[in-house]
Amino acid sequence: MADRPELDRDFAAALDAGDLERIEELWLEALESPAIAVDSLLDVRRALWKQGHKTLASTLLELLADTLEQRREMGAALAVLREIVRLTEKPGAELVGRLEKVLTAARAGCPSLKQVLEYHPLRGSRRPLEQLDVIERWLDYDRNTIVEVVGQGVGTVVDANLSLENIKVDLGGARRPVSVPFGAALRYLRPLPPGDFRRRAVEDPVRLRRETLEAPGEALVGLLESLAEPADVAVIKAALEGIVDADGWTGWWAKARKHPRLLVSGAGSRLRYTVGASAEAAADVLLNELRAAEPRQRLAVARRLAVRGAAEAEETAAFLAGTLADLADRDPGLAWETAGVLSGLAGKSGAATACRERLIAGCPPLQLLLGIQDRGEREAALAAVRSADPDRWAELWSDWMLHEQHPAVLDLIAHELDGAGAVDLLDASLEAVFRNHLEHSAQFVWACEAMVQPGASEPLRRRATPSLLEKLPDTLTRPEFGPLRGRAKALLDGGGVAIRVILESASPQQADRFASRVARISAVEPQRARLLEQAVTQRRGAPATEAEAPLFVASERAIEAKRRELGELLEVEIPKTLKGITAAAAEGDLRENFEYHMLRDRQELQSARAAKLQRELGLVRLLKPGSADTSRVNIGTVVHLVTPGGAALPPITILGSWDADVGRRVYANGSELAQRLLGSRVGDQVEVDGGPATISRIAAWPVEP
């Protein structure tokens, strides 16, 4: 009988022997016990039924139901009667009436019991069990029930509308009640049992707050048991809002997280907390997790185990020490990090030191460093390489500079190489970085930050040249710099390398071109673009005229068109989309509501477009026809050209990006062709349409018809 549930030993023996009298005797004894094990008896019933003793099974089930009713254990009696109805081919009116009577007694405290039974009557139902499921589900979410609304918080059911099939939950505070369709209640509503931590936060918040502050660890355990799934710090903090003040959160959390039942999984920003059945069980869980984890994940588990106590630390150390030899062959970098964790555990520092000495002696330095993910451990490895090879360490460090991505370690390398007189090696590494800045994105951003810092080495300082302005826009647009975008933007701030180069060494034309390129990058905030423009103006020594400024210009017609587009977005399109979002949200089940998410995406795109237009309209300068300086090619000029053979080419007009029309040979001032022509004079040779040409005349852009 290996496929049946585990039964009481006496029942199992009687079933195996086919001793029906003994089974009946044991059943009657069970009915006389102070607490009847209903679930176990139902398992016995199923085993009897499976062996073909259906009559006896039905009789015993009836005895169980009668006994539970007499003892007024109506919840258990309802479960047994449900089983009886399920086994009855055609339940009669008497049996269904009995079911309703027991249901009424079991749910006597439900405010809406009478209304639910009137709206969903059991008597006369062709499928009484299905009807019972509906009734009990309504009663599970009856008025005054405290429930968790998945993803939104805990609140109290304030209305259960049978006709509209809608349940309304008040989440407290200034928030509007949440409406959940009855059909979605099982997915989105979870009744909280008496004593549940979050239920108590609704029922008696003052007392719960006092207990939480007095016993942080116990409170955290109670909260995690209530959540019933691993939770990160943000979820825990949100659940404790109003119970633990923001000012006291750090101290409270430092105490709470030391509870011995607490279990932690994941690493970094993905840390999740849950609880074990006991402190010993929690330690056992972590030890099992340590043994089963992938080699790199063992480090985080080992650190958590090491602080739980001496016994756990000793067992952890023994396990890690046993993995070092294999790791040293397969993954030297991970072996180095494992030895670092091991060195902090009592009694195993010698094994850790010996492992590291073997790695330094036998593993190529670059291979070792490439496998070390922890920044502190890489610094320790660099120091060990320097001590082990005092003649070649500088060469090894400069080679590693092209692989290192952490700014603090790059600072260390540059400082030590400079201090040791290895300036040529440092210069060679920096040359490789600046020659191919896309391949060495992290090193390039670091170098741009470091070159303007006090005490920067000479090889860094002398790379703050105007040619840098040609590379900096890549840090704001190219995918290679995606993880570094925030630091890249900071290069444009006051005191950053971009402003310093503009003010100290760039020509006005170089500064203009750089500011123009940055102004077209939507990711750059308006205040940063304005700061660059101010620096460019200061570099010129005087305010620029409209025709000279290559930042962002447009004709009156183009500006008006953009204003109309912005008005249409703000007054028509965005309100229309928001109205659609509101209507879609009312449908409920937002996570699977395709129309809702589609409209949200559209609204985000429309808002981003409107913000971009507002920013550009605030920056744009009106380009007046006929006002450009025609002594050289400027924005607002028409360039006439001839081929080497004297044949005239179609003229080229240079305007702003809003007026560009390549089909009519009207080019934006930031385009590659315009940048080649700007500043040229009559008689200059230029490259146009893939061949040489000579500028024969420069005219002002004419008034449009």
pLDDT at 592: 46
CA angle 570, 571, 577 (to 5 degrees): 75
Whole-structure pTM value: 0.49
The model's confidence at residue 549, banded by pLDDT at 50, 70 and 90, is: very low
The pLDDT of residue 674 is above 90: no
Helix (H, G, I), strand (E, B) or coil at 189: strand
**How confident is the model at residue 313, as a pLDDT?**
76
pLDDT band of residue 617 (cuts 50, 70, 90) is: confident
On the question of pLDDT at 469 being above 70, the answer is yes
Which has more pLDDT, 89 or 704?
Answer: 89
Q: Taking 80 as the threshold, does the pLDDT of residue 679 lie above it?
A: yes
Region 118-135 average pLDDT? 90
pLDDT exceeds 70 at position 700: yes
Dihedral sign of CA atoms 133, 139, 141, 145 in order: negative
Split at pLDDT 50, 70, 90, the class of 402 is: very high
Contact 472, 491 (CB under 8 A): yes
Among 445, 551, 464, CA closest to 504: 464
Whether residue 6 has pLDDT greater than 60: no
pLDDT tens-digit series, residues 179-226: 999 988 899 999 999 989 999 988 899 999 999 999 898 899 889 888
Residue carrying the six token digits 């106590």 = 309
pLDDT (mean) for 244-249: 87
Residue 488 has a pLDDT of: 93
As a whole number of angstroms, the distance between CA 412 and CA 391 comes to 19
**550 pLDDT exceeds 70?**
no
Classify residue 43 as exposed, middle or buried by CB count within 10 Å of its CB (0-12, 13-18, 19+).
middle
Report the C-alpha gap between 138 and 388 in whole angstroms. 75
